[in-house]
Chains A and B, each alone.
Chain A
Amino acid sequence: MFLFILKRLILLVPVFFVVSVVVFLIIHLVPGNPIDNLMRAGSSSAQRVQIAAKYGLDRSLAEQYFVWMSRLVTGDLGTSIIQGRPVGALIAQNLPYSLQLGGAALLFSALTGITAGVVAASFHGTRLDDGISGLILLGSTVPSFWLGLLLILIFAVWLGWVPISGARGWTSLILPVIAAGVGGIALVARVTRIAMIETARQDFVMLLHAKGLSPLVIQLRHVLRHALVPVVTILALRIGWILGGTVTIEYVFARPGLGSLLIRALNQRDYPLVQACLLMLAMAVILGTLIGDIVQAAMDPRQRQARS
């Protein structure tokens, strides 16, 4: 098991370089450049060349990549061209907000989704199951920004229970977490429900019933444990999403966060900032899958053996 984790961690190094090349090329191949955003109207082309030289944008792509990467491996993420501040500081400033919102939303959607899935599967084929499945379908189709606006209207404007926007205090987190989490609830609930129904059809469940165990014990202690394996896969894929996936919610609730930072940087073609953000998101997704694999191996003895 330890060897498996070590192997996977070592494998992250080449993945890191491949991802960095892709990220670098993507942003440089997009039309437009940060200089357009720095130039005032009527600036001469001489000034343009001067600015390009200042940020090294006049060199070849290979050279630029090499410069960026050689700084990156020493831990220097570079300086934002447009905002003029170190990229590391900008990310450090926004990261906690994203982690709070994304983490809370993931936890919220995992707990609610699993519960809903278990209830729906346990009452499979009844009205309760139909009701929950209907809500799940609704939840997976409602756009989160629209839900966010609706929640603001009801709970912040009409009822006045929570702040309308911003990121001050934990009450301002409630609505964004709900709005961002609903899509996840639907996904998790659906996977939990299907996996439980599938598991319940297996022979060993029949034999558990033949032992005289109560259906509740069978569902929670045996069937759910099996059903959680695919759920962990889904949740692991969403770990990366914690960091950058809540950008629409950040906009609706006027919250700072990595998503908004990235979108702004993209619009301004702020190369160093975009590269750092994208690279971090990509690594978060990959790390998320790794964590998912480790959790699954901890849960399932068959996988543990296959990987040791």
Chain B
Amino acid sequence: MLLTVEKLEIAFGVFSPVDDVTFSIDRGEILGIVGESGSGKSLTATAIMGLLSRIGGQIVAGRICFDGAELVALPERQLRRYRGGRIALITQNPMTSLDAMMRVGPQIDQAARLHLGLDRCAARTRSLELMADLRIPDPALVYGLYPHQLSGGMKQRIVIAMALAGDPELLVADEPTTALDVTVQAQIIQILVELVKRRGLAMILITHDMGVVAQTCDRVAVMYCGRVIEQAQVNAIFEDARHPYTQALIRCIPRRTMTRGSMQPIPGMVPNVADQPIGCRYNPRCPRVADNCLTEIPGLRIDTGDHGVACHMADVA
């Protein structure tokens, strides 16, 4: 396995918005992490990048193991060699992710110069190739533009080029298309997936869009309230979802065969971090609550088919 996250717990002061998160990903694989806002997807990504302290959080338990190295224990200086060089981040909002006062080309160069030891000229050549790979028209022209002169889709391509510049093995893409126009979203996802497959990279794709997951991912981990509640191969999730929350999520995907008004939203709201329910965190919204759901947090049980689910009632149904 390239990356293994085990029983990860993240704390901000007294709150633990991420608790008991376990998953792993291998080279050439795309892992989707799905969940509503506030489910801890982005925090998990930030933790993998080793950037939690920047936003005031810390890892209080668990392991993040990358290619045999334990990242949680690594001092900042050594962690910097992984960041951008071996694990790269693609952020949510391309509008705010670029330095507005710097031309976009040199921003792509940075990681290559830092991690691959290229000089200015070689880094530029490499950046131009990357930009062409990402189907940016006229790379040499775009190289010298400032972010505000580019459209959202172009900016996100620059952000992706920045992530690829350091030749990483793992990409962490945190909702890479959420801030974009719907017409551009599919295009960006397509380019991204194509590049990842061609280069044999691993990618963690964080999203709340089950449609994107179905089209792109190999495996899926579903998160709810800071915990992974189900994970499996992508087919197994869509054909044999075992957690009531996953089932509800899948029912929320619009289909052509649906009649007007037949969409079934999940009742209730995601509980606040400060006010988590006792027992299974999904119990206030769950249609089949049993007694032990109200007292005991279900752990993730993985069966022989590598299908894991954290629900007391999964086998009953």
Contacts and interface: CB of A to CB of B under 8 A. Distances in A.
Given A203-B92, A204-B98, A211-B166, 8 more contacts: A203-B96, A206-B55, A206-B91, A209-B51, A211-B84, A213-B110, A214-B80, A302-B100
A212 B91 contact: no
B131 interface: no
Contacts of A211: 83-84, 88, 110-111, 114, 162, 166
B225 interface: no
B162 A207 contact: yes
A291 to B, nearest CB: 20
A211 B84 CA distance: 4
Task: Please indicate which of the listed interface residues A209, A211, A300, A301 has the most CB atoms of chain B within 10 Å of its own CB.
Answer: A211
Interface string A265-308: 00000000000000000000000000000000001111001000
B85 interface: yes
A213 B115 CA distance: 9
A35 B115 CA distance: 78
Interface string A56-87: 00000000000000000000000000000000
Interface of A: 202-204, 206-214, 222, 225-226, 299-302, 305
B114 A213 contact: yes
Nearest to B148: A302
A209 B49 CA distance: 9
A212 B166 contact: yes
Task: Please indicate which of the listed interface residues A202, A204, A207, A222 has the most CB atoms of chain B within 10 Å of its own CB.
Answer: A207
Given A203-B93, A301-B146, A209 B102 contact: no
Contacts, number: 75
A213 B109 CA distance: 12
B114 A207 contact: no
A302 B98 CA distance: 13
Interface residues of B, number: 32
Contacts of B102: 222
Contact of B114 (A209, A212, A299, A301): A212
B51 A208 contact: no
A299 B102 CA distance: 10
Nearest to B146: A301
B170 to A, nearest CB: 12
B298 to A, nearest CB: 34
B8 interface: no
A208 B99 contact: yes
Contacts of A214: 80
B96 A212 contact: no
Given A203-B91, A211-B114, A299 B84 contact: no
12 contacts: A203-B91, A206-B54, A209-B83, A211-B83, A211-B88, A212-B82, A212-B115, A213-B110, A214-B80, A300-B100, A301-B101, A302-B100
A301 B107 CA distance: 15
Contacts of B146: 301-302
Interface of B: 49, 51, 54-55, 80-85, 88-89, 91-93, 96-102, 110-111, 114-115, 146, 148-149, 159, 162, 166
A226 B92 CA distance: 22
B84 A222 contact: no
Nearest to B94: A203
Contacts of A212: 80-85, 111, 114-115, 166
Nearest to A202: B96
Nearest to A226: B101
B101 A225 contact: yes
Contacts of B85: 212
Given A210-B88, A210-B89, A212-B80, A204 B97 contact: yes
A143 to B, nearest CB: 38
A210 B91 CA distance: 10
B51 A299 contact: no
A244 B89 CA distance: 53
A222 B54 contact: no
Contacts of A300: 100-101
A222 B149 CA distance: 19
A99 B297 CA distance: 74
A222 to B, nearest CB: 5
A142 B39 CA distance: 51
B100 A301 contact: yes
Contacts of B115: 212
Given A213-B110, A301-B148, A207 B101 contact: no
Task: Please indicate which of the listed interface residues B99, B111, B115, B166 has the most CB atoms of chain A within 10 Å of its own CB.
Answer: B99
A151 B81 CA distance: 50
A164 B81 CA distance: 57
B33 to A, nearest CB: 17
Contacts of B97: 203-204, 207
A300 B148 CA distance: 11
Task: Please indicate which of the listed interface residues A210, A226, A305 has the most CB atoms of chain B within 10 Å of its own CB.
Answer: A210
A115 to B, nearest CB: 21
A207 B91 contact: yes
A204 B148 CA distance: 14
A302 B148 CA distance: 7
A299 B49 contact: no
B231 to A, nearest CB: 25
Contacts of A299: 101
A30 B111 CA distance: 66
Contacts of A202: 96
A198 B83 CA distance: 23
